[in-house]
Amino acid sequence: MPKKSVDSKGSADTSAVLHRDLSCDFLPLAEGKGNDLMLEDGRRIFDGSGGAAVGCIGWGNERVARAVSKQIMAIPYCSTIFYTTKAQEELCRFLVDSTHGNMGRAYIVNSGSEAMEAAVKLARQYFLELSPSQNRRTRFISRRQSYHGITLGALAVGGHEFRRAKFEPLLMKNVSRVSPCNSFRGKKAGETDKEYVARLAKELDDEFQAVGPETVCAFVAEPVVGAALGCVPAVPGYFKAVQAVCRKYGALLILDEVMCGMGRTGTLHAWEQEGVVPDIQTIGKALGGGYQPVAGVLASRRVIDVLEKGSSAFVHGHTYQGHPAGCAAALEVQRIIKEEKLLANVQAMGALLSKGLRERLAAHPNVGDIRGRGLFWGIEFVADKKTLSPFPVGDHVGLAICELGLTQKYGINVYPGGGSVDGIQGDHIIISPAFNVRSDEVEWIVDTVGRLVDDFFAKQA
Ligand code: PLP
């Protein structure tokens, strides 16, 4: 969050909002056009991360605005006890069809956290309806250094120590965690990908055994870890191996694609690149591209069949679930992604971005790792390139780099993350521009981030 040092003339009274950080000045945002954010004082900032990897078609898209407005004029709200809307049905049909028959139904909510809450409850309800012998399944296994949302259930599933710390006594205790698949920090010297995968799969298997395999509902993971680690994809074969462990014990695989899904990594679903299909999947950010708060859960045929043959009802409901304006926005955003062939652009521009970032920054003494997929790239910083030791947590290096980026000299928005968890996670920044980013913009991002990183560490020296 920008501190008072960020060079912009704040004009808004910011004293009534319970902001994320009450000691910060916030930049008054006036409008967005394409990939540019305009502040109220007229200053322009290039949005190099789509906010929190949300923006995917840029800002100010009139087609989406018209679709949302048309929906609001037709019917802005739908009480889903008795009604549905064409927008909700069409969006869910699009989502289910996009999985080539693997998913059975979709459930639309308003945020990634709500989607994760629903996913957890759906997994539990699946086992209750599968057979009375399965009602001991109340546990979840997730991974350390993970983030699955901020509400109590989602926070309990995740392993983000800082965000959990103050609320630990309130969080459900039926979650245990194993190591993430993070080759930069977790792979041993000389270990092959195959050996690393086998070690992680064994760790998961051991965890099932430790807690009692008959008590586990699901293993939960992000295919490409976003906010918690900074765009870390798993090594090849990892997801097949952990799914095999889940299958061995009859547990479900829940993949959280809130940040990495809906095209961000170059395929509509990140699992398409892993050779697995999850039993339950959550989606969010790039679903509606920021035009409305909209997220969702996709449930596989396996889960839906049990519900359809069982109670025929998911015991979960929000006042604003399936919100017509959210569905209309998401539908139009997804139509644009398809019509403008933006997934191909994510792949092409992603290749350009990764090559550019590596050429420009890989040798930098404070750059430890550059990794990602599609238009989802993370740069992890190290205090010492030889030992790869991270910076002290209190230095907030990732955040400070992003704040410097917002100043006039650079004018770029990148997304911060990091702070040590279990003592091994370093600071990172995320670069995740809109899916329609152009090659000249990618070149500008590489040059600007390069200057930003050079200048930031030169000042520290
Ligand atoms: N899951 C992942 C992987 C996320 O990155 C996030 C948010 O950053 C969430 C869940 C929670 O989503 P939301 O902030 O929309 O509640």
The ipTM (two decimal places) reads 0.99
pLDDT for residue 8: 59
pLDDT at residue 370 greater than cutoff 70? yes
Q: Which of 54, 111, 145, 147 gets mutated to test ligand 1 (max ligand atoms within 8 A of its CB)?
A: 147
Say which residues have a Cβ less than 8 Å from residue 137's Cβ, sequence separation at least 6. 124, 127, 214, 215, 216, 217, 251
Q: Which atom of ligand 1 is nearest to the CA of 228?
A: 5
Taking residues 293-297, what's their average pLDDT?
Answer: 98
Q: Which of 20, 49, 113, 282 gets mutated to test ligand 1 (max ligand atoms within 8 A of its CB)?
A: 113
pLDDT at residue 417 greater than cutoff 90? no
Q: How confident is the model at residue 342 (pLDDT cuts 50, 70, 90)?
A: very high
Ligand 1: residue whose CA is nearest its atom 14? 112
Taking residues 291-320, what's their average pLDDT?
Answer: 97
Q: Which atom of ligand 1 is nearest to the CA of 151?
A: 16
pLDDT for residue 22: 87
CB 225 within 8 A of CB 145: yes
d(CA 112, ligand 1 centre) in Å:
5
3-state helix/strand/coil string of the chain? CCCCCCCCCCCCCCCCCCCCCCCCCCCCEEEEEECEEEECCCCEEEECCHHHHCCCCCECCHHHHHHHHHHHHHCCCCCCCCCCCHHHHHHHHHHHHCCCCCEEEEEEECCHHHHHHHHHHHHHHHHHHHCHHHCCCCEEEEECCCCCCCCHHHHHHCCCHHHHHCCHHHCCCCEEEECCCCHHHHCCCCCCHHHHHHHHHHHHHHHHHHHCHHHEEEEEECCEECCCCCCEECCCCHHHHHHHHHHHCCCEEEEEECCCCCCCCCCCCHHHHCCCCCCEEEECHHHHCCCCCCEEEEEEHHHHHHHHHCCCCCCCCCCCCCCHHHHHHHHHHHHHHHHCCHHHHHHHHHHHHHHHHHHHHCCCCCEEEEEEECCEEEEEECCCCCCCCCCCHHHCHHHHHHHHHCCCCCCEECEEECCCCCCCCCCEEEECCCCCCCHHHHHHHHHHHHHHHHHHHHHHC
Q: Which of 164, 259, 318 gets mutated to test ligand 1 (max ligand atoms within 8 A of its CB)?
A: 259
pLDDT at residue 207 greater than cutoff 80? yes
Structure tokens at 459: 């000042």
d(CA 285, ligand 1 centre) in Å:
8
d(CA 259, ligand 1 centre) in Å:
6
d(CA 299, ligand 1 centre) in Å:
18
pLDDT for residue 420: 54
CA separation for the pair 295, 106 (Å, rounded): 10
Taking residues 145-160, what's their average pLDDT?
Answer: 96
Residues near ligand 1 (Cβ within 6 A): 52, 111-113, 116, 147-150, 222, 226-227, 256, 258-259, 284, 295
Ligand 1: residue whose CA is nearest its atom 9? 149
d(CA 163, ligand 1 centre) in Å:
12
pLDDT for residue 10: 56
CA separation for the pair 441, 430 (Å, rounded): 16
Q: Which of 20, 225, 258 gets mutated to test ligand 1 (max ligand atoms within 8 A of its CB)?
A: 258
pLDDT in tens, 18-45: 988 888 788 999 999 999 999 999 999 9
Taking residues 276-288, what's their average pLDDT?
Answer: 98
Q: Which atom of ligand 1 is nearest to the CA of 225?
A: 3
Is the pLDDT higher at 305 or at 417?
A: 305
Q: Which atom of ligand 1 is nearest to the CA of 114?
A: 16
CA separation for the pair 461, 446 (Å, rounded): 23
d(CA 459, ligand 1 centre) in Å:
33
pLDDT at residue 158 greater than cutoff 70? yes
Ligand 1: residue whose CA is nearest its atom 7? 149
Is the pLDDT higher at 371 or at 420?
A: 371
pLDDT, averaged across the chain: 95
Taking residues 153-182, what's their average pLDDT?
Answer: 95
Q: Which atom of ligand 1 is nearest to the CA of 285?
A: 15
pLDDT in tens, 213-233: 999 999 999 999 999 999 999
Is the pLDDT higher at 12 or at 307?
A: 307
Distance between start and end Cα atoms, the chain: 24
Q: How many CB atoms lie within 10 A of CB 396?
A: 16
pLDDT at residue 422 greater than cutoff 60? no
pLDDT for residue 14: 81
Q: Which atom of ligand 1 is nearest to the CA of 260?
A: 3
pLDDT for residue 132: 95
Q: Which atom of ligand 1 is nearest to the CA of 52?
A: 8
pTM: 0.97
Q: Which atom of ligand 1 is nearest to the CA of 226?
A: 5
pLDDT for residue 424: 56
CA separation for the pair 307, 243 (Å, rounded): 22
Please state which of the ranges 39-48, 102-111, 222-231, 420-429 shows the lowest mean pLDDT.
420-429
